[in-house]
C-alpha cells in the first residue's frame, strides 16, 4: 500500500548522499534549552536529522512535560525544507496516546467499550487536535496483549484478547490516519510495542519475555497483523527480548515476520534508545555493533540514541553494512513522509478546533467504557433523598485523565464531587466527608444518609511506564472505609477509578454496587455520575479478567484445559487450583452488567457441518440468536461469540472470542444477531506461523460474557 509511492521515492533517493540518507534514519529528542536548539538547527541544516520526537524524557508518559511548541517546530521544518541541501521535510512524533487536549479513556478502558465506531470517532478527534499542534505522527496504538495486571503498562493496551485487540487496533488506526493520511487532520499511527513487551516477566517493566511460538503467532501477533492490514504507517520495535533475542536486533521478527509474513510496507522506529541498549542486553559489544545489528535486522529509524547518526556511515564505508540496506530503510521512511503529505504541506497552519464537540465524544466514549461489576439493586440511584460521598478519589482531577497525558487539561475535567453534584437533581441532598481521609468524626453525618457512594481506586501514578506494582489489591484503607460504610447499615456503592483490574475480593462484600469507571479521561466523572443516576445505562464489558487476588496472576479466559480435562476458570474443580483460593476469577472476561435485562435465545445455525474444502473456499457457518430486552430500560448488549476447537493437532483454548456485536435494544424489543464464522475464525497458527485449518468438531458459544453456556456444536468434515 505504501509501495505505490516508490517511483517518487526513488527519484528523491537518487539525489541523496550517504550522509543525507542516514540523516533520514535519525530521530532526535526535542531540544531542552537554547544551546541544544542551536545544535539541532545545525544538524537539520546539515541533513543529519529525519525526525524529532516531541518528548523530553524516556518515560514521558509519567513525567511532567512542556507543552507543544508549534512555532519552534515550524522553524525546524523551515530549516529542513529551505536550508538543508536535500530539502526533505522532518516528521514530528509525539506520544499522543489516548488524547491530546481533550482526553479519551485510557486504552484499556476504551477496549471495554467493545465499540469500534466510537473508538474510531474518538481517535479522529484526538488526531485533529494533535495535528493542529504540529504533530504528524503518534506512537499509538499499543497492541500488547497482557495477562499480568501488575505490569503498569497494561493500562495502555487492550487487555488479554487478540481478537478484541485486533478490532480496536483497526478502529484506532482508522481514527488516527483517517481515509487519507495526507489530510491535515490525520496522524501517522505506530503499532507498538512490536513484539511481546506485554509478557514482561512478573509484570516488571522492561524485563525479559519468554514466549512460545504458539503464543506468539496466536496471541501476540494478531493485533499487529490487523494493524498492518489496516494500513498502519509505522511500527515500533520494543525494548524486550523474546527468549533471549532482543527484538531490535532480530531479523526474524523485524524482517521475516513483519515484512515477510505480515506484508508491512511502512517503517520501523525503535523504542527509546533501544539500539544503543542492545549493549546493555549483552548481544552487542559496543554501540557500533548495535547500529550494525539493528539496521541489518530491519530497524529503519533510531529513536534518540544517535547510534545510526554516529556509526552507520563508517559501517557502510567499511563494508559491514551494505548501502542497499540503508537505501531500503530510507525508502520506507520516505514512503511515509510522502504519504503524510509532508512535501506538499510541511508547515502547521494555525486553526480553530471545536473542543466542545470532542468533549462530548469523550463523555460518550467514557460511558461506553465503564463496567458495572456488581449491583444488588442499589443502582441506578433514586432521584431523591440524601447521598453521602467519601473516598480518596472524590476530589481527584488529574488522576482521572490516566497516564500518558502530555497535553491534557486536568482543569477542565470535573472531579467526581463536582460532577455528581451537578448531575444530581435538586431533590437530592449531598453530604460529603469534608476532605477527611481518615474515618473520623467528620463522617458522623453519614448516619443520616440513604446511600453512601465511595470514590475509590488508584492514582495514575501507579500505572503506565515503569510503574508496575507487586500487589494489585485495592488498598487496605479503602477496604476499611467500605466496611465502615456498610456497618452503618446503608446501601453502599463503590466507584472505582483505576488503570488496571484491581483485586477486589476484600472490599466486594461491603459494596452493594461497583462501577468500574477506570481513568476515562476528561469526562470520567460526569459519565460515571450519569450512569449512577440512570441517565445512561451501563454497557461496558471488561476486556481483561479481574483476579480475586494477586496470587492468581496470570489468569485469563482463553486458556487450555488441565490434564484432568477441566479448566478452573470456568468453575470446574476450581478449588483444586490453590488450597487457599478458588481458581475462578472474580469477574470474567467480557463481563459487565446493565440496568436492564437481556435474554439471549438458543443458537440456531444454517448448517451443522461444512466440508473443509468449502470452508477453505470461503463458505461459512451463520449462527444467530434473538436478544430480548426484558428489563425496564433501553440498553446496549454486547453479544459475544466464542469457539472451542475440540480436537486439534495442538491444544486449543477452552474458549476464544471470534465475534462480538454491540446493539442498542429498546425495552420490550428483540434484536436478531448473526455471526458469520468461516476460515479466518476456525483455524489457528502452527509453530512456524503457518495457518492451519483442520477438520473436527467446534463448540460455539454465544452470550453476554465468556462464561456463557449457550452452546451449539458444528462440524468441519
Contacts with ligand NOJ by CB under 6 A lie at 55, 58, 60, 95, 139, 192, 271-272, 465
State CA 128 to chain mean position distance: 20
Q: Nearest approach, Cβ of 238 to ligand NOJ (angstroms)?
A: 8
CB of 273 to ligand NOJ, least distance (A): 9
- 276: closest CA among 294, 290, 297, 292? 290
Cβ proximity to ligand NOJ: between 234 and 640 the closer is 234
Nearest to 408, CA basis, from 187, 126, 111, 31: 126
Nearer to ligand NOJ, 119 or 234 (CB): 234
Residue with smaller CB distance to ligand NOJ, 192 or 292: 192
Q: Rounded to the nearest whole angstrom, what is the least distance from the CB of residue 551 to ligand NOJ in the complex?
A: 28
**Nearest partner of 552 among 482, 504, 510, 514, judged by Cα:** 504
We find the least distance from the C-beta atom of residue 461 to ligand NOJ, in angstroms, to be: 17
The DSSP code for 66 is: P
180 catalytic residue (yes or no): no
Shortest spacing between CB 224 and ligand NOJ, in angstroms: 15
Of residues 144 and 508, the one with the C-beta less far from ligand NOJ? 144
Alpha helices in 541-685 (DSSP H): 612-616, 679-682
Catalytic residue from among 133, 271, 289, 407: 271
CB of 138 to ligand NOJ, least distance (A): 9
Q: Which is nearer to ligand NOJ, 131 or 406 (CB)?
A: 406
Q: 487's torsion region: left (phi>0), alpha (psi -120 to 50) or beta?
A: alpha
Three-class secondary structure of residue 595 per DSSP: coil
Q: Are 521 and 99 in contact, with CB atoms under 8 Å apart?
A: yes
Q: Which is nearer to ligand NOJ, 139 or 587 (CB)?
A: 139
Residue nearest to ligand NOJ (CB): 139
Between 176 and 675, CB nearer to ligand NOJ = 176
> For residues 303 and 299, what is the distance between their CA atoms, to the nearest angstrom?
10
**Considering the complex, what minimum distance in angstroms separates the CB of residue 173 from ligand NOJ?**
16
Nearest to ligand NOJ of 303, 514 (CB atom): 303
Closest CA to 503 of 437, 457, 567, 557: 457
Helix pair 307-317, 287-297: axis angle to 10 deg: 80
DSSP category for residue 34: H
CA nearest neighbour of 275 among 251, 286, 288, 291:
291
CB of 177 to ligand NOJ, least distance (A): 17
E strands of 570-690, at which residues?
598-600, 604-605, 609-610, 621-629, 635-645, 656-665, 670-677, 684-685
Task: Assess contact for 209 and 241: CB atoms under 8 A.
Answer: yes
| Residue 713: CB minimum distance to ligand NOJ, A | 43
Cα angle 409, 542, 120 (rounded to 5 degrees) comes to 55
CA 568 to CA 588: how far, in whole Å? 12
d(CA 391, CA 340): 47
- Packing angle between helix 355-369 and helix 116-131, nearest 10 degrees? 150
Nearer to ligand NOJ, 206 or 578 (CB): 206
Task: Using the minimum distance from each CB to ligand NOJ, give the nearer residue, 177 or 432.
Answer: 177
Q: Which of 561, 558, 544 is nearest to 684 (CA)?
A: 558
Considering only CA atoms, give the Rg of the chain.
26
In terms of Cβ atoms closer than 10 Å to its own Cβ (0-12, 13-18, 19+), residue 105 is buried
CA distance 420 to 310: 56
Beta carbon of residue 198, minimum distance to ligand NOJ (angstroms, whole number): 12
Q: How many residues does the structure list for the chain? A: 717
List residues with catalytic annotation. 271
Amino acid at each position: 500500500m505504501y509501495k505505490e509511492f516508490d517511483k517518487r521515492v526513488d527519484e528523491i533517493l537518487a539525489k541523496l548522499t550517504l550522509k543525507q540518507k542516514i540523516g533520514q534514519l535519525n530521530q532526535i529528542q526535542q531540544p531542552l534549552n537554547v544551546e541544544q536548539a542551536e545544535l539541532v538547527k545545525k544538524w537539520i541544516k546539515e541533513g543529519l536529522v529525519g525526525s524529532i520526537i516531541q518528548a523530553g524524557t524516556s518515560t514521558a508518559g509519567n513525567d511532567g512535560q512542556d507543552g507543544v511548541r508549534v512555532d519552534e517546530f515550524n522553524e525546524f521544518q523551515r530549516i529542513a525544507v529551505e536550508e538543508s541541501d536535500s530539502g526533505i521535510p522532518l516528521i514530528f512524533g509525539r506520544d499522543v496516546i489516548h488524547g491530546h487536549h481533550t482526553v479519551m479513556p485510557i486504552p484499556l478502558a476504551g477496549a471495554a467499550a467493545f465499540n469500534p465506531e466510537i473508538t474510531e470517532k474518538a481517535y479522529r478527534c484526538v488526531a485533529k487536535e494533535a495535528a493542529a499542534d504540529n504533530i504528524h505522527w503518534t506512537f499509538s496504538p499499543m497492541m500488547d496483549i497482557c495477562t499480568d495486571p501488575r505490569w503498569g503498562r497494561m493500562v495502555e493496551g487492550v487487555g488479554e484478547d487478540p481478537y478484541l485487540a485486533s478490532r480496536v487496533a483497526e478502529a484506532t488506526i482508522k481514527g488516527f490516519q483517517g481515509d487519507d493520511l495526507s489530510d491535515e487532520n490525520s496522524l501517522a499511527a505506530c503499532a507498538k510495542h512490536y513484539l511481546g513487551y506485554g509478557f514482561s516477566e512478573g509484570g516488571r517493566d522492561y524485563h525479559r519475555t519468554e514466549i512460545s511460538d504458539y503464543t506468539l503467532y496466536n496471541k501476540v501477533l494478531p493485533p499487529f497483523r490487523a494493524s498492518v492490514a489496516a494500513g498502519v504507517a509505522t511500527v515500533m520495535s520494543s525494548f524486550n527480548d523474546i527468549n533471549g533475542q532482543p527484538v531490535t536486533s532480530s531479523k526474524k521478527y523485524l524482517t521475516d515476520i513483519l515484512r515477510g509474513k505480515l506484508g508491512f510496507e511502512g517503517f520501523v522506529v525503535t523504542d527509546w534508545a533501544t539500539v544503543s541498549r542492545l549493549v546493555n542486553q549483552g548481544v552487542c559489544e559496543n554501540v557500533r555493533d548495535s547500529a550494525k545489528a539493528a539496521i541489518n535486522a530491519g530497524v529503519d529509524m533510531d529513536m534518540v540514541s544517535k547510534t545510526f547518526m554516529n556509526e552507520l556511515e563508517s559501517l557502510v564505508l567499511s563494508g559491514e553494512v551494505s548501502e542497499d540496506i540503508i537505501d531500503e530503510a530510507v525508502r520506507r521512511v520516505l514512503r511515509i513522509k510522502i504519504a503524510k503529505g509532508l512535501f506538499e504541506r510541511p508547515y502547521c497552519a494555525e486553526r480553530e478546533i471545536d473542543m466542545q464537540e470532542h468533549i462530548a465524544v469523550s463523555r460518550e466514549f467514557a460511558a461506553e467504557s465503564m463496567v458495572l461489576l456488581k449491583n444488588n439493586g442499589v443502582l441506578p440511584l433514586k432521584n431523591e433523598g440524601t447521598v453521602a460521598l467519601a473516598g480518596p478519589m472524590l476530589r481527584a482531577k488529574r488522576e482521572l485523565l490516566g497516564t500518558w497525558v502530555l497535553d491534557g487539561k486536568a482543569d477542565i475535567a470535573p472531579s467526581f464531587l463536582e460532577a455528581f453534584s451537578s448531575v444530581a437533581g435538586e431533590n437530592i441532598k449531598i453530604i460529603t466527608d469534608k476532605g477527611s481521609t481518615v474515618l473520623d468524626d467528620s463522617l458522623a453525618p453519614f448516619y443520616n444518609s440513604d446511600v453512601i457512594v465511595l470514590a475509590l481506586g488508584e492514582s495514575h501514578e501507579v500505572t503506565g511506564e515503569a510503574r508496575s506494582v507487586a500487589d494489585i489489591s485495592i488498598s487496605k484503607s479503602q477496604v476499611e472505609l467500605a466496611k465502615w460504610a456498610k456497618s452503618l447499615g446503608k446501601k453502599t456503592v463503590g466507584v472505582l477509578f483505576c488503570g488496571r483490574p484491581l483485586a477486589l475480593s476484600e472490599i466486594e462484600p461491603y459494596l452493594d454496587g461497583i462501577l468500574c469507571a477506570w481513568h476515562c479521561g476528561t469526562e470520567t466523572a460526569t459519565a460515571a455520575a450519569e450512569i449512577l443516576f440512570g441517565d445512561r445505562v451501563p454497557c461496558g464489558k471488561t476486556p481483561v479478567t479481574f483476579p480475586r487476588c494477586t496470587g492468581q496472576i496470570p489468569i485469563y479466559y482463553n486458556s487450555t484445559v488441565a490434564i484432568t480435562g477441566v479448566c478452573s476458570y470456568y468453575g470446574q474443580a476450581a478449588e483444586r487450583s490453590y488450597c487457599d483460593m478458588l481458581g475462578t476469577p472474580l469477574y470474567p472476561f467480557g463481563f459487565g452488567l446493565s440496568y436492564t435485562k437481556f435474554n439471549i435465545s438458543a443458537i440456531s445455525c444454517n448448517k451443522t457441518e461444512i466440508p473443509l474444502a468449502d470452508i477453505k473456499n470461503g463458505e461459512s457457518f451463520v449462527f444467530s440468536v434473538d436478544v430480548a430486552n426484558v428489563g425496564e430500560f433501553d440498553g446496549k448488549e454486547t453479544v459475544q461469540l466464542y469457539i472451542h476447537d475440540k480436537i486439534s493437532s495442538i491444544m486449543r483454548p477452552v474458549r476464544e472470542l471470534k465475534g462480538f456485536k454491540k446493539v442498542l435494544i429498546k425495552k420490550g424489543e428483540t434484536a436478531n444477531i448473526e455471526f458469520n464464522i468461516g476460515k479466518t475464525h476456525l483455524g489457528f497458527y502452527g509453530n512456524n506461523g503457518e495457518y492451519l485449518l483442520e477438520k473436527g468438531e467446534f463448540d460455539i458459544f454465544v452470550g453476554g460474557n465468556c462464561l456463557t453456556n449457550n452452546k451449539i456444536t458444528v462440524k468441519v468434515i
